[in-house]
A and B are shown apart, each in its own frame.
Chain A
Amino acid sequence: MWVAFKWVLKRDLMLAVRGPSEVLTTLMFFIIVVSLFPLGVGPERETLMEIASGVVWVAALLASMLSLGRLFSSDYEDGSLEQLVLAAHPLPVLVLGKIVAHWLVSGLPLVLVSPVLGLQLGLDGETLAVLILSLLLGTPVLSLIGAVGAGLTLGLRGGGVLLSLLVLPLYIPVLVFGAGAVEAVRSGLEAQAHLSLLGAFLVLSVMLAPWAAASALRISLD
């Protein structure tokens, strides 16, 4: 079973490496959105520091929503998704493989770039560390939840916007606690409660989302 997981993971990673333009789009979008805020809001250090946690997190959320469409669509179009669904291995495991690959390629880069953007907005020290940690815990949750939405909206017209509408209510708690963690530390408070809750979301979504996404795929492909 884990052989199949690793196989799907490797396959998706190889495909991503061969066609990196899609991958870079997510990263560039993230960087651009965050960079727009100082231009729009003004370069006042105080203001930027106050909104930094929210800005980075919302940008990560939007970048994540943008990248979700790609999770299943290319496989759906060339028929390999149906092959995966019909395979002898448990579909949730295969789906988890795809989600992990997707996160490594779309989510992890955001985590790695975030300290630079944080610095740009005037954050430092412990705040940056919490920023990285919150995104490290949160972006996989976004990928996992997003996979369910992507599975449900497979092949539908108006797909991207509809997908965003569907996952948005489920993303909000992640956003609240992710940005909240950073903001707490910036104000000198403890972020432990926020981060614990993010961790709980991660555990919960790893257990439930692959199964839900697999069900969604079966519903969409039947």
Chain B
Amino acid sequence: MRLFSKDFWFQFASPKTFYPFAGKLIPWFAGVAAVLTLVGLYIGFFVAPVDYQQGNSYRVMFIHVPAAWMSMFIYVVMCAYAALGLVLNTRLSDMMAAALAPTGAMFTFVALWTGALWGRPTWGTYWVWDARLTSELILLFLYLGYMALRSAIDDPRRASRASGLLALVGVINVPIIYFSVKWWNTLHQGASVSLTSAPTMAKTMFAAMIVMTFAFWAYAIAVALYRVRLIILERERHARWVVELAERER
């Protein structure tokens, strides 16, 4: 069967084959993202009830938690592609890593911003230096550093390998920080604030959150695929198929 043949899958490692394939996927993921967003927002605003303690401000959670999850998830996927690129030397892996970074950084900022706006009415402060918030801030710096390093290096091969190494070094940081949440509990008793109260949540709230998570996931895939196509065009700009494509678009 073709699906079980290695050659079938390896053809997608070539930017030239991947480009039209990605192009077909984008409208589907964009559509799913739009539909899920509408459904999630509907449930979140019109079905989920007012919270007994927090009033209506808790509804920020339907953006905040999915964005935070996506910020972490995208970083890990980015690192996986970076590792693939470093080990296998495939250009497309590195291009995918580069395509994911700006979206990941955006979600990280959204998580921080919405977290601050949720924190103010709920816990009285926009910010607190606990393990979770600090680690999210570090994650934003990791994304920005990754993008800054990439843009500072002219040679594409050095740029991809250097930023790949940086991303992987940063990944070591993340579990260390998350593990230290336990340490923080012993060091600052009672100061830990849980921003996700999943099992005790009303079912409708949980549903809205999950739907929005998948909405963001579909959005991230659509945007990353769109961006990687642009990166392919930029890197392969002298190739015949690219020139023909550009002339056809006129």
Contact = CB atoms under 8 A, between A and B. Distances in A.
Is any CB of A less than 8 Å from a CB of B in the complex? yes
Interface of A: 148, 152-153, 156-158, 162, 165-166, 168-170, 172-173, 176, 180, 184, 189, 193-194, 197, 201, 204, 208, 212, 215-216, 219-220, 222
B5 to A, nearest CB: 34
Contact of A166 (B134, B157, B166, B180): B166
Nearest to B145: A166
B158 A184 contact: no
B165 A152 contact: yes
Closest 6 interchain pairs by CB?
A169-B141, A219-B161, A166-B145, A169-B138, A169-B142, A152-B162
Given A194-B187, A222-B158, A173 B153 contact: no
A172 B134 contact: yes
Contacts of A193: 183, 186-187
B239 interface: no
B245 interface: no
Q: Which secondary structure dominates where chain B touches chain A?
A: helix
Contacts of A197: 180, 183
A212 B144 CA distance: 20
B66 interface: no
Nearest to A189: B187
Contacts, number: 69
A166 B149 contact: yes
Contacts of B158: 219-220, 222
22 contacts: A152-B165, A156-B152, A158-B152, A162-B149, A165-B141, A165-B144, A165-B148, A166-B148, A166-B166, A169-B139, A169-B141, A169-B170, A176-B134, A184-B187, A189-B187, A197-B180, A197-B183, A201-B176, A208-B172, A212-B165, A219-B165, A222-B158
B141 to A, nearest CB: 4
Contacts of A222: 157-158
B248 to A, nearest CB: 37
Contacts of B134: 172, 176
Nearest to B163: A152
A153 B187 contact: no
A43 B145 CA distance: 37
B111 to A, nearest CB: 16
A169 B153 contact: no
B204 interface: no
Given A153-B152, A184-B187, A169 B145 contact: yes
Contacts of A152: 149, 162, 165-166
A175 to B, nearest CB: 10
Contacts of A153: 149, 152
Given A156-B152, A212-B169, A219-B162, 9 more contacts: A152-B162, A153-B152, A165-B148, A166-B145, A170-B173, A172-B141, A173-B180, A180-B187, A193-B187
A156 B141 contact: no
B144 A170 contact: no
B167 to A, nearest CB: 11
B91 to A, nearest CB: 16
Given A156-B153, A219-B162, A165 B187 contact: no
A200 to B, nearest CB: 9
Given A169-B141, A172-B138, A193-B183, A216 B149 contact: no
A168 B141 contact: yes
A50 to B, nearest CB: 15
Interface in B116-174: 134, 138-139, 141-142, 144-145, 148-149, 152-153, 157-158, 161-162, 165-166, 169-170, 172-173
